[in-house]
Structure 1
Amino acid sequence: MKADVHVSTQPAAAFTASTYELDRPEHLMQDSRRADDERALRRELDARGFTDGQSGHARYIVSMSYDTRPASILLRSGETGETGGIGATATSTAGTQSGWCAATRYRHSLTLRFFDRDSGMEAYSVTALAWDCHADTVSAWPYLVESALGKLPYADASDWQVTFGRSQNSGDMPRISSTKRVERVDAQ
């Protein structure tokens, strides 16, 4: 399995493992799935030298957001099937043509943003993307977390590709076998 990683805020030289506090929006605090995801994220942050700090005393506030959507959407409008435009309807273009998926492929993303508590400035931001055949994040979540934190921080490049090796046990967190920089080619 592979995942893509994009760093939108390059870390400052002073960005190092330290204390953190997860930002917990009140409307999500009762969500049991979110609680499981937070536990997995905390475990991986702790494994990388971060310490869950006391409320109000952590160096970083970590914001976590994720979503899942069909991997490919084509917008069609009107009877002629023109793409885009006012009144366009969304149609999934992902399906059996996507290779090994017999159903729609899904794109999962996780964004972690580290804010310096004292200044309020974003110290580091990373987004991990993975694709699979499942509409929920349960199977993708471990890959997203591991990808986002694989080279904490990802420095000197904005785009990376993460490749995973096979786990020995089905319950193990996936382990990264390689990370490589990806050069973005801008269309002219």
Structure 2
Amino acid sequence: MNIHQWTRRAALLLAALTVLLSGCTTYVTTQVTAFSDWSGKDTPRTFAFTRPPDQQSNLELTAYERLVASELVAHAFHEVDSAQARYLVALAYGMRSDMVTVAEPVYYNPWPGPYWGRPLDPWGPWGPYPATYVNQSYPIFTHLLGVRITERATGKEVYNVTARNSGGESSLVRAMPYLVRSALGDFPLANGVVHTVQIPLGSTGGAANDVTVPAAPAPAPGAKAPQ
């Protein structure tokens, strides 16, 4: 088994444990990887989003851009027309589903009844019989967001960050606020940084598992809308 296969299986096993514990889990855990050539000499921090030609009318992408824009504003960025922007921001996103099989214990007790506790019942609530194990399969969903920032004038990439999390949430829309906050919450990260971010459920600006998409900013007087 090569390194890639081992890493993928380990990640899926951890995600399966997350699903099993989802009833008591109160945090969304996201792994963030950043590559940076951010100098810090970047006044003003003006930006515009850029898209491939075939994505110009993508409403899903528009919703995610609004989330990213709100996070960038918190770091002194200001969204402007693309012709005046110092930086161009491009998003990549996706979701993959897998099935993970986990061995779970099954106990047998031939004497059902109240459990009185030790020392009255020395075997515990499941009696003296050891557990058997049954394989259970669970769906695991991996969500991914990439944010790439380039200089408009030169095309030079100055920041590239990826956020990834896995669990039982089947909706990328519901996972996206956690991905965005994890990816950009500590902007700018140093080059080659990999770290883990934990965000409490429901702390993304709305109720748990709900998405609140900020409205698009009003264009400046006389500004031309990006094409």
Higher strand content, 1 or 2 = 1
| One-letter amino acid of the structure 1 residue matched with residue 180 of structure 2 | V
Aligned-partner Cα distance in 2 for 1:122–1:8:
10
* Residue 119 (structure 1) shift: 1.7
* Residue 14 (structure 1) shift: 2.7
| One-letter amino acid of the structure 2 residue matched with residue 133 of structure 1 | G
Deviations 1:87-106 (A, max 9, x none): xxxxx4425669xx973111
Identical-residue share of aligned pairs (%) = 27
Greater RCO (Cα-Cα under 8 Å, separation 6 or more): 2
Q: Does the 8 A contact of 1:129 with 1:144 survive in 2?
A: yes
Corresponding residue of 1:113 = 148
Moved more, 11-20 or 24-33: 11-20
Distance change (3 Å), C-alpha of 1:15 and 1:130: farther
Instruction: Select which of 87, 107, 125 maps to 2:160.
Output: 125
Q: Secondary structure at the match of 1:43?
A: helix
Distance change (3 Å), C-alpha of 1:95 and 1:51: farther
Aligned-partner Cα distance in 1 for 2:103–2:57:
39
Distance change (3 Å), C-alpha of 1:63 and 1:95: farther
Corresponding residue of 1:30 = 57
TM-score by length of 2: 0.58
Q: CA RMSD in A?
A: 2.7
Q: Secondary structure at the match of 1:6?
A: strand
Corresponding residue of 1:184 = none
Structure 1: state its 5+ residue gaps: 71-91, 174-188
Q: Secondary structure at the match of 2:138?
A: coil
Distance change (3 Å), C-alpha of 1:97 and 1:151: farther
Q: Does the 8 A contact of 1:18 with 1:51 survive in 2?
A: yes
Aligned-partner Cα distance in 1 for 2:33–2:43:
19
Deviations 1:66-110 (A, max 9, x none): 11112xxxxxxxxxxxxxxxxxxxxx4425669xx9731111111
Distance change (3 Å), C-alpha of 1:93 and 1:15: farther
2:118 is the counterpart of 1:55 = no
Q: Secondary structure at the match of 1:140?
A: helix
Q: Secondary structure at the match of 1:105?
A: strand
Higher helix content, 1 or 2 = 2
What is the aligned residue count? 150
Aligned-partner Cα distance in 2 for 1:151–1:38:
18
2:100 is the counterpart of 1:94 = yes
* Residue 46 (structure 1) shift: 1.7
Aligned-partner Cα distance in 2 for 1:16–1:163:
31
TM-score by length of 1: 0.69
2:91 is the counterpart of 1:64 = yes
Structure 2: state its 5+ residue gaps: 1-27, 105-135, 213-227
Moved more, 11-20 or 58-67: 11-20
